[in-house]
């Protein structure tokens, strides 16, 4: 057995090299060792039992400061499985697994012993990861799809169907490139670039979640029948040579991927020109009406510039005007102690000078056709780019040059951490299945390499990597990201007034950050009166996050007092107590209360409490029992202590100091 310890996690590999234990933050994630189960010749596969030539083992292939690789061999009556588990220094476990028929021994070849009858019928092969039921409470997966429950119910896709609380009954779904299962504190991520060589009986049952007595089993149905490549080969008498190894690759990532900061409100950021669009150039807009001074006065310490800072969308080479503009904005902001992050995304623009030469080679394609095509100003079209090619090198070197010459303080990345499905054969994402059909890849490893390299460039210069993601947790890239920005999918519904109760379990799975180790900000788009920035504040604060303002006027005015409250409270010395684990008891269950608890020098508790109405209905005469005699100060609307019965507007909120 071998043990690898890394960043608050430890993995123990068994004699067959499969992980027997995965511990994160002192909690065992597995209920039982990971296993391969299946059928050979229609009988259950027995690994390494009752075979005289059994030499099953695992061994360390190599290890250094960046990774350790554990290899293993498993033997059954008919087949061999070879595995390689590469545990990287960030805890990411890259898995390579090969399945093949076993051959004859040397003694059999030379006729010294009677040869056994060789059979090569692999009827089923499943990978099963038995999870601790206390850990397996929440989920997040990508791409989104219907979920099929054991009782026949089909959970249709919706804006929030790809994350939330695990269903109480068994469930099944199509292949997933990204899947995370865990609780509010920790979990485990699964990632796979493609379903190459997978042969589930039904495509919508490629992945299953099975509730057993002492475990919740994540099952990948790799094979439900003899591999097609073997069926097309010679007959069993020549199977040793004709039935070549079948390979499967995937990634496991225990979370949190790094230590969650004690002070998770990393900056007071204004995001300029996102959703609330401004006319003209940023340099002119900011120079008017003393707007730089206004940013400083309102407490902004980070200015995030959206798409329009650069004439050509997502370009790494700057025009003369763009260079002059960004240098001036950075200089003015730095005078006032404000950092500047610039936008980059996932596109190549028709304005890009390398379009004709590079576009076809670097673009994402789906069924052979380019994707995206967004309209942007100045007039251009932008198409999705894949980072599994030379574009990655240009991206990294371009950002490095911009930070060095323009003195920017990092990057805001729009969707860059998403491994977009791509079947572009020009750069190797496309591949063909056994029937000759063009299939695609989710280039997870390329995106991961991109963020590893980007972190070296940005962090070595004291910069920040801030990433917007839409409906997924890419745990393979998160070790290199400083803060995420989630919530855009909710805005499609809430800005139209098409909302009901707050999707609390969805928030807990994807939007709190502590379970994966990376702080979160909430996206908030206004459409008054249907949806306001204050409504978004209510959704965010009870989950330990804040919304990011995207307008220099009202949203900034709404969040600035909360920034000041958070700054003044000793959060780094406090314990975060969310509504699902604290002692606060609202008189109405629709009100949720979370708080930071601080013990002062006299050993008395002081709470910074956030309360929110999670519905679209007004709730009156709400009282909160904090479990002891308390005095309450309304930090936004009062200057004296009392304990009034509060009225909560629809999606309204209160912030109290409780002594």
Q: How many residues comprise the chain?
A: 659
The three-state secondary structure class of 264 is coil
Closest CA to 230 of 45, 99, 48, 116: 99
Q: Are 11 and 4 in contact (CB under 8 A)?
A: yes
pLDDT of 639: 65
Q: Which two tokens stand for residue 147?
A: 């979920």
Rounded to two decimals, what is the model's pTM? 0.95
Q: Are 81 and 98 in contact (CB under 8 A)?
A: yes
pLDDT of 244: 86
The burial of 34, by beta-carbon neighbours within 10 Å (0-12 exposed, 13-18 middle, 19 or more buried), is given as buried
pLDDT of 50: 45
The burial of 598, by beta-carbon neighbours within 10 Å (0-12 exposed, 13-18 middle, 19 or more buried), is given as middle
| Sequence-distant (≥ 6) Cβ neighbours of residue 410 within 8 angstroms | 339, 341, 403, 458, 463, 464, 465, 466, 482
The three-state secondary structure class of 80 is strand
Low-confidence ranges of the chain (pLDDT < 70): 49-56, 232-242, 639-640, 643-644
C-alpha span between 432 and 207 (Å, rounded): 22
pLDDT of 236: 54
| Sheet arrangement for strand 269-272 | 269-272, 302-305, 339-344, 410-414, 464-468, 483-486, 520-523, 546-548
The three-state secondary structure class of 331 is helix
């Amino acid at each position: 057995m071998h043990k690898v310890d890394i960043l608050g996690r430890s993995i123990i590999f068994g004699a067959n090299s499969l992980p027997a234990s995965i511990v994160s933050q002192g909690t065992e994630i597995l209920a039982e060792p990971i296993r391969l189960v299946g059928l050979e010749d229609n009988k259950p596969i027995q690994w390494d039992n009752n075979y005289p030539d059994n030499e099953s083992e695992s061994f360390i292939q190599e290890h250094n400061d960046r990774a350790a690789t554990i290899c293993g061999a498993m033997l059954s009556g008919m087949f061999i499985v070879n595995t390689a588990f590469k545990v990287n220094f960030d805890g990411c476990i890259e898995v390579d697994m090969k399945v093949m028929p076993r051959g004859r021994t040397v003694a059999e070849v030379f006729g010294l012993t009677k040869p056994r009858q060789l059979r090569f019928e692999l009827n089923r092969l499943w990978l099963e990861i038995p999870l601790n039921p206390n850990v397996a409470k929440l989920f997040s997966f990508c791409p989104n799809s219907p979920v099929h429950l054991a009782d026949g119910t089909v959970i249709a896709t919706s804006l929030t169907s790809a994350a939330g609380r695990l269903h109480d009954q068994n469930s099944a779904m199509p292949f997933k490139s990204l899947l995370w299962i865990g609780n509010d504190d920790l979990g485990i991520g699964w990632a796979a670039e493609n379903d190459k060589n997978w042969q589930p009986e039904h495509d919508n049952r490629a992945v299953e979640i099975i509730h057993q007595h002492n475990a919740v089993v994540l099952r990948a149905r790799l094979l439900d029948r003899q591999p097609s490549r073997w069926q097309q080969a010679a007959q069993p008498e020549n199977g040793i040579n004709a039935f070549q190894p079948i390979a499967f690759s995937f990634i496991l990532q225990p979370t949190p991927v790094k230590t969650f900061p004690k002070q998770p409100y990393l900056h007071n950021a204004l995001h300029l020109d996102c959703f609330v669009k401004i006319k003209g150039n940023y340099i002119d807009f900011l120079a008017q009406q003393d707007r730089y001074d206004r940013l400083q006065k309102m407490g902004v310490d980070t200015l995030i510039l959206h798409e329009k800072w650069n004439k050509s969308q997502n370009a790494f080479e700057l025009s003369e005007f763009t260079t002059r503009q960004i240098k001036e904005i950075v200089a003015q902001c730095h005078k006032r102690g404000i950092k500047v992050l610039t936008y980059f995304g996932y596109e190549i623009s028709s304005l890009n000078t390398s379009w004709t030469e590079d576009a076809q080679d670097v673009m994402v394609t789906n069924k052979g056709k380019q994707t995206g095509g967004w309209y942007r100003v100045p007039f251009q079209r932008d198409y999705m780019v894949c980072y599994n090619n030379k574009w990655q090198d240009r991206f990294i070197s371009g950002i490095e040059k911009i930070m060095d010459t323009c003195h920017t303080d990092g990057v805001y990345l729009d969707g860059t951490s998403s491994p977009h499905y791509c079947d572009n054969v020009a750069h190797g994402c496309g591949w063909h299945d056994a029937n000759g059909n063009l299939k695609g890849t989710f280039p997870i490893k390329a995106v991961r390499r991109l963020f590893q390299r980007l972190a070296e460039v940005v962090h070595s210069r004291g910069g920040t990597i801030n990433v917007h993601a839409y409906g997924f947790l890419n745990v393979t890239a998160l070790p290199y990201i400083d803060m995420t920005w989630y919530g855009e999918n909710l805005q499609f519904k809430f800005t139209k007034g098409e909302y009901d109760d707050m999707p609390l379990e969805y928030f807990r799975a994807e939007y709190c950050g502590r379970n994966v180790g990376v702080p979160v900000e909430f996206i908030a788009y206004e459409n008054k009166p249907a949806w306001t920035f204050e409504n978004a504040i209510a959704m965010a604060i009870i989950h330990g996050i804040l919304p990011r303002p995207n307008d220099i006027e009202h949203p900034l005015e709404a969040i600035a007092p909360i920034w000041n409250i958070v700054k003044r409270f000793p959060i780094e010395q406090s314990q975060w107590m969310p509504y699902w684990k604290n002692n606060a008891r609202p008189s109405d269950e629709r009100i949720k209360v979370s708080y930071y608890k601080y013990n002062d020098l006299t050993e008395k508790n002081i709470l910074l409490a956030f309360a929110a109405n999670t519905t679209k209905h007004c709730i009156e005469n709400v009282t909160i029992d904090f479990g002891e005699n308390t005095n309450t100060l309304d930090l936004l609307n009062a200057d004296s202590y009392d304990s009034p019965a509060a009225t909560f507007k629809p999606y309204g909120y209160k912030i109290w100091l409780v002594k």
